[in-house]
């Protein structure tokens, strides 16, 4: 399976065109938040991305109001909104949690993740999609310090997803790292094809 992951478009139509060009290679699109800029142009962006003709998993970023984005997403058949939820495709289970940016600990994520873990079977392959990055990694390094979320790092250590996609930190667009056997990626607005 080939994923085209991207994040932090912030309403940039040129970035959408780059995504559409790459989408021919992908089986599914994943947006890890901030598709819009404070809710502006979210419908326009989703209408443009519909041209890819592929399903797209979507979570909100810190520039979106969760409920507003969910309602807008419901207007588009190709969009699968997975904030605080999951979606299974073949042997892979995609678990999504959006919104918070600079939060060292996220109690709501921990609560949702605990429930999600109860549903997992032994051989399930998890793909984690969050807007904020895990703490203590190459993806959350900003101005000489780590600004990610420890709750996400704990989830990765415990669950060992095959892949973790996040965004939010613009300075780490394009950065990837293998952490606890999990491939961490900040695909940025230009997107990255990832093979599972």
Nearest to 166 by CA among 194, 145, 144: 194
Q: At what angle do helices 66-73 and 42-49 cross, to 10 degrees?
A: 40
* Domain span at 69: 2-195
Mean pLDDT by 10 residues, the chain (196 residues): 96 93 97 84 92 97 88 96 96 92 86 96 94 95 90 96 96 95 96 96
The whole-number pLDDT of residue 66 equals 84
The whole-number pLDDT of residue 21 equals 96
Instruction: Compute how many other C-beta atoms are within 10 angstroms of the C-beta atom of residue 83.
Output: 21
The whole-number pLDDT of residue 48 equals 96
Confirm whether pTM is higher than 0.85: yes
The whole-number pLDDT of residue 174 equals 95
CATH number at residue 25: 3.60.21.10
**Residue 126 CB partners (closer than 8 Å, separation 6+):** 92, 93, 94, 95, 120, 159, 160, 161, 162
The whole-number pLDDT of residue 39 equals 64
Number of domains, the chain: 1
């Amino acid at each position: 399976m080939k994923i085209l992951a991207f994040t932090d478009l912030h309403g940039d139509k040129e970035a959408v065109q780059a995504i559409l060009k790459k989408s021919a290679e992908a089986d599914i699109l994943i947006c890890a938040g901030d598709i819009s800029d404070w809710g502006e142009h979210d419908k326009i962006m989703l209408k443009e991305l519909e041209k890819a003709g592929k399903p797209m998993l979507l979570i909100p970023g810190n520039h979106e109001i969760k409920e507003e984005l969910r309602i807008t997403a419901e207007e588009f058949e190709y969009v699968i909104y997975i904030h605080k939820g999951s979606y299974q495709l073949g042997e892979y289970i995609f678990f999504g949690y959006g919104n918070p940016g600079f939060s060292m600990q996220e109690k709501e994520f921990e609560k949702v993740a605990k429930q999600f873990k109860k549903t997992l079977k032994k051989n399930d392959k998890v793909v984690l999609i969050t807007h904020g990055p895990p703490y203590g990694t190459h993806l959350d390094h900003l101005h000489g310090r780590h600004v990610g979320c420890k709750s996400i790092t704990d989830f990765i250590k415990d669950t060992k997803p095959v892949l973790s996609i996040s965004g939010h930190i613009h300075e780490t667009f394009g950065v990837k790292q293998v952490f606890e056997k999990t491939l961490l990626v900040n695909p940025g607005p230009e997107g990255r094809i990832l093979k599972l």
